[in-house]
Amino acid sequence: MAVTSAQNTHGGKAHGSINNPRDFGSAGGSHAPRPLSNSNPAGGLGGGYILMRVGESLTIDGKLNVDGAPGASTHGGSGGSGGSISIFARWVFVVITAL
């Protein structure tokens, strides 16, 4: 399923490896002529990268978040892409709670 923006344009192609993800997310694009400032560009920042190497078992009771940041919509900026999560463990247990 393709995702489109308010201007009905498609996002970019995926990058990295699905088998061994190790990429940070990319920053979002900007329609502003220049960044709003060096610390606050119109395009959202890309997501982070989490690497976990666990000897035996890992229990996740919460949220691992590598989301990209939203863009400054008043300046035409798009959101940054999400990053990667790599988990190496013999067993991974996830606690699921009702919303």
Nearest CA among 63, 50, 42 for reference residue 24: 50
Amino acid at 14: A
- Give the integer Cα–Cα distance in Å for 78 and 42: 8
Which residue matches tokens 């190496």?
A: 88
Mean pLDDT of the chain: 79
The pTM of this model reads 0.67
Return the domain boundaries, the chain. Answer: 25-99
Check residue 13 and report its DSSP letter: -
For 63-91, the pLDDT digits (tens) are 899 999 888 766 677 888 889 999 999 99
For 40-65, the pLDDT digits (tens) are 557 888 899 999 999 999 999 998 99
- pLDDT at position 51 is 95
Structure tokens at 31: 């329609």
Q: Does the CA dihedral 67-69-26-15 come out positive or negative?
A: positive
pLDDT of 13 over the 80 cut: no
- Give the integer Cα–Cα distance in Å for 97 and 92: 16
